[in-house]
Structure 1
Amino acid sequence: MDLFDLTGQTAVVTGAARGLGLSFASVLARAHCNVAILDIGRAASEGVDHLRTTHGVRIEYYTCDISSKAQVVDTIERVQQDFGRIDINVNAAGVVTDEPFISTSEDTINRTFAINFTGSFLVAQACAASMIKRIEASLLSPPVDPAVEGGSIVFIASISTHLPSMAQNIAPYVGSKAAVRGLVKPLAVELAPYGIRVNSLSPGYMMTDMMEGLQRRQPDLVRQFQRETLLGGGRRIGRPDELQGPLLMLCSRRAGGWMTGQDLLVDGGAASWKHAAALGD
C-alpha cells in the first residue's frame, strides 16, 4: 500500500504559478493527483506548463482574485465541473511587504489581509462546501472515516508566527499568518464529522523566487536567515522541495488521516534555539 498515492483525487492549490505553491502542485502531481491551480495572472506560467507535460495527470490553470468571493465561488464551481470532485485544498497564495510598523500604510494592511487571510478563508470555504456535497452524495453518514473518503485543507502559515525576526519589518504579514493559523482548530472541529481534516504548514526560511530576489537586494538579510537555521551549518536555508514531504503527508488520507487541527513547523530548527537575531551580531 502506497501511503502517498493520490490517484483519482483532485487538489485545488492557490498561488501555484511559482514559488512554494508551484512546488506543492508538483509533488501532488507526482503523487498522481490532478491539480487545479488558482493564481492572479492571466496566463499559466512556464512552470505550470511544464507540469502539464510531465506527470500524466490533469493540470488546469484558473485566473482568480482570491480576495473576491464572487470570483472564488465561480472558479471553484468551474473546477468542480471540470474535474468532477475536490479532495484537497492547499492555500499557498500570499504577499509580504517589508515596511516599518509606524509607517505601514492602510493599503499594505488591506492588501496583505485580503490575500493572505481572506483569500485563504474564501477558497477553503468553497472547497469544503464542494467536499461536503461529494460526501453527502455518496450517502455516507457522519462521522466519515478520514482515511477513506474525507478531504484535506492545508493553510500555509509561517515561522514568523512562532518566532518573529528582527531582520524584517513585516507586522501585517505576521498578523495575517497568525490569523490563518487561528482558523485551523475551529475548522477542524466543524468539519471533522465529514472526515475533512484541517491543518497548517509553517515553513521556515525558504529559498523561493522571492527569497532569491531578497538575496540580490539584501544579502545581509539572507545571511542572517542562514545563521538562524540549525541545519545546514548556518550556510543555507531551506529548499522548497524540503517542504514537499510534509505537505504530501498532510494531504494524504493514508499517511496523515489521523492528523487534524495542527500546525506543522518545518524550519530547519530555526525556532528551536535562542540565537543572535540582530543583523551584524
Structure 2
Amino acid sequence: MDQFSLKGQTAVLTGAARGLGLAFAQILGEAGANIAVLDVIQPEEALYKIGTDHNVKVSYQKVDVTNRQAVNQAIETIEKEFGAIHINVNAAGVVTDEPFLTTSDSNIERTFGVNFTGSFLVAQACANSMVRRRKQMDSVPPIGHDTSIGNIVFIGSIATHISTTVQNISCYAASKAAVRGLVKPLAMELAQYGIRVNSLSPGYMMTDMMRGLQVKQPELVSQFEKETLFKRIGYPDELKGAMLFLCSRASGWYTGQDLLVDGGASSWKHPASFAA
C-alpha cells in the first residue's frame, strides 16, 4: 500500500479558495483525497479542476471561520455529504504590515480572529467529527503500525522562527505563534482517539500575493530572496512532500511537531549588510 495515498479520505481545508490553501488542496486531491473547502471568498476555477483532474469530489462552502455556529454547521454538512472527515488543514490567514507602536485594534481583532480563532474552531469541529467516527470503529483493526484515524495540520509561518527587518508584522507573528501553541497540547489530548496534530511552517512562498509584491514592493521580495540559502522564493509545489507526509500514513509516528520548510532562511545569521 502506498503510504502517501489519501484515496477515499476527505480533507477539510480553510482558506483554499486561492493561494497556498489552494495549492494544498491540489496536493491532497492529487493524492486521492476528496476536498471540502471553507472560505469567505469565491474560489478560483482551479479548485473545481481538482475534481475533474483527479476524479475526486470537491465542494465549497462560504463560511466565516471565526463564527462557531457557521463552522459547526459547515462541518455537519460535510459529514453528511462525504460520510467522514479524515484530514483538516487550517490555511486561512491574514497579515497586515503595521508598526507595533501604532498597531490598531481592528488589526489585532481581525488577525487573531482569522488566524487563531478560525483555526481553533475548525480544528475543534473536525476533531469532534473524527472522535465520533473513532467511537464507531473501535472494533476495526489498525492498518499496519499506524493507529491514527485523523490528521490535523495547522499552517504556521517562518515569522514564528525568525523576524525580518523589512516587515512590521508583530501582530501576525504573534497570531501564528498562538497557532503553533495549540499543536503540542492538542496532540496530547487527541492521541487517545488516534488523531495526530502537527503544524507546517512555510517560508517565503511564490503565491499570488508575493507576485503582487514583486510589482509593488520589489525591494521587499529582493530582501526575502537574500534571506534564504538558495537566494530565491520558494514555490508551493515544494511543500508537496511536507504536506503529504503530515496527512498520510507515512507520518504515523509523528505528532505534536512543527515542520519548518523555509529554504534555510532561519538557519543562519544574515549579514548586517542586507539592511543597508
TM tier relative to shorter chain: over 0.9
Match of 1:167 in 2: 166
Counterpart among 245, 249, 254 of residue 249 in structure 1: 245
Task: Report the secondary structure of 2:53's partner residue.
Answer: coil
The TM-score, its normalising length taken from structure 2, stands at 0.96
Match of 1:23 in 2: 23
- Please give the alpha-carbon distance, in whole angstroms, between the structure 2 residues aligned to 1:44 and 1:20: 13
Unaligned runs of 5+ in 2: none
- Please give the alpha-carbon distance, in whole angstroms, between the structure 2 residues aligned to 1:20 and 1:226: 18
Given that residues 12 and 88 in structure 1 are in contact (C-alpha distance below 8 angstroms), is that contact kept between their aligned partners in structure 2? yes
Given that residues 13 and 88 in structure 2 are in contact (C-alpha distance below 8 angstroms), is that contact kept between their aligned partners in structure 1? yes
Match of 1:273 in 2: 268
1:16-95 equivalences under 5 Å are: 16-41=16-41, 43-95=42-94
After alignment, is 163-172 or 179-188 more displaced? 163-172
- Please give the alpha-carbon distance, in whole angstroms, between the structure 2 residues aligned to 1:79 and 1:146: 29
After alignment, is 146-155 or 7-16 more displaced? 146-155
1:46-195 equivalences under 5 Å are: 46-140=45-139, 147-195=146-194
Alpha-carbon deviation of 1:210? 1.0
* Offset from partner CA, 1:202-257 (integer Å, 9 cap, x none): 000101111111111110000000000002xx1x21001111110110000x2011
Given that residues 165 and 275 in structure 2 are in contact (C-alpha distance below 8 angstroms), is that contact kept between their aligned partners in structure 1? no
After alignment, is 193-202 or 48-57 more displaced? 48-57
RMSD: 1.8
Alpha-carbon deviation of 1:102? 1.1
Task: Report the secondary structure of 2:66's partner residue.
Answer: coil
Alpha-carbon deviation of 1:45? 2.0
* Offset from partner CA, 1:79-108 (integer Å, 9 cap, x none): 000000000000000000001111111001
Alpha-carbon deviation of 1:61? 0.7
- Please give the alpha-carbon distance, in whole angstroms, between the structure 2 residues aligned to 1:140 and 1:178: 38
Given that residues 157 and 177 in structure 1 are in contact (C-alpha distance below 8 angstroms), is that contact kept between their aligned partners in structure 2? yes
Match of 1:5 in 2: 5
Matched, 1:214 2:213: yes
- Please give the alpha-carbon distance, in whole angstroms, between the structure 2 residues aligned to 1:163 and 1:270: 8
Change (3 A) 1:212 1:134: same
Given that residues 30 and 50 in structure 2 are in contact (C-alpha distance below 8 angstroms), is that contact kept between their aligned partners in structure 1? no
* Offset from partner CA, 1:143-188 (integer Å, 9 cap, x none): 9988245110000000010001111000110000000000000000
In the comparison of the two structures, how many residue pairs are matched?
A: 276
Given that residues 167 and 279 in structure 1 are in contact (C-alpha distance below 8 angstroms), is that contact kept between their aligned partners in structure 2? no
- Please give the alpha-carbon distance, in whole angstroms, between the structure 1 residues aligned to 2:161 and 2:250: 25
Task: Report the secondary structure of 2:27's partner residue.
Answer: helix
Alpha-carbon deviation of 1:277? 6.0
Alpha-carbon deviation of 1:58? 0.4
Given that residues 226 and 274 in structure 2 are in contact (C-alpha distance below 8 angstroms), is that contact kept between their aligned partners in structure 1? no
- Please give the alpha-carbon distance, in whole angstroms, between the structure 2 residues aligned to 1:114 and 1:87: 25
Alpha-carbon deviation of 1:49? 2.3
Task: Report the secondary structure of 1:272's partner residue.
Answer: coil
Change (3 A) 1:152 1:77: same
The TM-score, its normalising length taken from structure 1, stands at 0.94
Given that residues 203 and 265 in structure 1 are in contact (C-alpha distance below 8 angstroms), is that contact kept between their aligned partners in structure 2? yes
Identity of aligned residues (%): 60
Structure 1 runs, 4 residues or longer, greater than 2 Å off? 143-146, 276-281
Alpha-carbon deviation of 1:44? 3.1
- Please give the alpha-carbon distance, in whole angstroms, between the structure 2 residues aligned to 1:257 and 1:120: 23
- Please give the alpha-carbon distance, in whole angstroms, between the structure 1 residues aligned to 2:241 and 2:179: 21
Alpha-carbon deviation of 1:276? 3.0
Change (3 A) 1:129 1:241: same
Task: Report the secondary structure of 2:94's partner residue.
Answer: coil
Change (3 A) 1:144 1:67: farther
Change (3 A) 1:277 1:266: farther
* Offset from partner CA, 1:91-128 (integer Å, 9 cap, x none): 00000000111111100100000000000000000000
Task: Report the secondary structure of 1:67's partner residue.
Answer: coil
Match of 1:239 in 2: 235
> In structure 2, what residue type is equivalent to 1:247?
M
- Please give the alpha-carbon distance, in whole angstroms, between the structure 1 residues aligned to 2:203 and 2:272: 15
